[in-house]
């Protein structure tokens, strides 16, 4: 594991995670990478379902090793009244609590924000759910895929007239997690200005997606325009598309005015570079098909490497479409510490994504591997004042593991 001395900019903050799978745990992963102490509550026996998702090594997902680094695992049955009591006691000792259950779940366990804040007035509670804590849809189940669809993203993905496709990762959950992390940091800053008082951060999956939909709504409001799927193009921003080469596809983003002129010169189309109708993006967008055809006619006679060399000489943004094998082999990723090495509890050495964002003076780090289920139960309960006999009694009763 990489040895970085900095404890990170969030060192000293304690986070209690009650979530599972992706959205809540990705938010706490981000906080943990930046130095916060993260205590993850998992159900005894099964743990977070993510432990069993996708490809496994000796029964545990390698995805788990990334999502749960820099975390401690405490196995407590939240359905048990004594388990609820234990989690309330832990919540009184932390700065931040993160949950991504359906609205009302915490309240059903006697852990409303009002009840928790009565014991810990400075507590910041991040609540991630499908549709938020209020509104007519609040009680409906909502996963990231639903948020992506309702937020407008799914309608724009894929080829025109074809079945809308999903982005290849759980982007809705991740966007919600990142918005939640922003909310936590804002609430922490406000807490220092308001006498140490905490608050609730309410993030809905569909809203996190919708917040990233750029001009979708104002264009509909002003013009009645309903944006449709456009394949690899970006309608209204020209040229920005994928173009065929002899050995694959290349992405070209020549939509800046001066960039467009350089691009047209590079592909031997000085006539388009000098066309007064194409000086600005609005004019180019009206002739997008013509411009795309000109670029594609040029790229299809060349290899990807030849196209990229020509684009670099002309100072035009372009790139190949990376597979994970390309990422793993790329020297820039490694120069930026975006590929780090970690080791699982069972001794498997893994390459894992690095820390984002990067801070110059207090960078984040991977300080601890992902925990085994309940690995830190005893130490956290001891902190609450339970001795070995009391912990064993809780274990015998099935409250903890």
User: Which positions are catalytic?
Assistant: 173
The two tokens of residue 135 are 């509104």
- Dihedral angle at the C-alpha atoms of 357, 192, 211, 104, nearest 10 degrees? 110
Contacts of 243 (CB under 8 A, 6+ apart): 249, 250, 251, 252, 292, 295, 296, 299, 300, 307
Cβ atoms of 127 and 154 within 8 Å: the answer is no
Distance of CA 361 to the CA centre of its chain: 24
User: How far is CA 400 from its chain centroid?
Assistant: 30
**Contact by Cβ (8 Å): 359, 9:** yes
Token look-up 């366990």 returns 109
Cβ contacts of 345 within 8 Å, gap of 6 or more: 369, 370, 371, 372, 375
- Of residues 209, 216, 218, 186, the one with CA closest to residue 199: 186
Q: Is 101 exposed, middle or buried (0-12, 13-18, 19+ CB in 10 A)?
A: middle
């Amino acid at each position: 594991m990489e040895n970085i001395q900095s404890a990170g900019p969030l060192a000293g903050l304690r986070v209690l995670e009650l979530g599972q799978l992706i959205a809540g745990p990705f938010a706490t992963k981000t906080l943990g990478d930046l130095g916060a102490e993260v205590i993850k509550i998992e159900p005894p026996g099964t743990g977070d379902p993510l432990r069993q998702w996708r490809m496994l090594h000796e029964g545990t997902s390698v995805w788990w090793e990334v999502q749960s680094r820099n975390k401690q695992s405490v196995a407590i049955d939240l359905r048990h009244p004594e388990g609820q009591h234990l989690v309330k006691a832990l919540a009184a000792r932390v700065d931040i609590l993160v949950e991504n259950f359906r609205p009302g779940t915490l309240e059903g366990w006697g852990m409303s924000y009002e009840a928790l804040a009565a014991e810990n007035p400075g507590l910041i509670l991040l609540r991630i759910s499908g549709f938020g804590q209020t509104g007519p849809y609040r009680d409906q189940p909502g996963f990231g895929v639903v948020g992506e669809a309702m937020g407008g993203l799914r309608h724009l993905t894929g080829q025109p007239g074809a079945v809308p496709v999903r982005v290849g990762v759980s982007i809705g959950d991740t966007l919600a997690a990142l918005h939640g992390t922003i909310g936590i940091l804002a609430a922490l800053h406000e807490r220092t200005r308001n006498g140490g008082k905490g608050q609730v951060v309410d993030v809905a999956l569909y809203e996190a997606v919708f917040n990233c939909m750029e001009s979708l709504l104002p264009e509909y409001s002003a013009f009645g325009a309903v944006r449709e799927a456009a394949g690899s193009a970006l309608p209204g921003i020209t040229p920005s598309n994928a173009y065929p080469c002899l050995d694959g596809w290349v992405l070209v983003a020549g939509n800046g005015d001066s960039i467009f002129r350089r691009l047209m010169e590079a592909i031997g189309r000085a006539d388009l570079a000098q066309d007064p109708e194409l000086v600005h993006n609005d004019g180019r967008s009206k002739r997008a098909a013509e411009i795309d055809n000109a670029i594609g006619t040029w790229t299809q006679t060349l290899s990807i490497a030849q196209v990229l060399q020509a684009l670099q000489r002309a100072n035009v943004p372009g790139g190949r479409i990376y597979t994970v094998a390309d990422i793993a082999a790329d020297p820039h990723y490694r120069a930026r510490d975006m590929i780090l090495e970690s080791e699982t509890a069972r001794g498997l050495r893994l390459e894992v994504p690095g820390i984002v964002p990067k801070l110059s003076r207090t960078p984040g780090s991977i300080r601890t591997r992902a925990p085994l289920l309940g690995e830190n139960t005893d130490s956290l309960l001891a902190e609450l004042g339970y001795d070995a006999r009391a912990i064993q009694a809780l274990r015998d009763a099935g409250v903890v593991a």
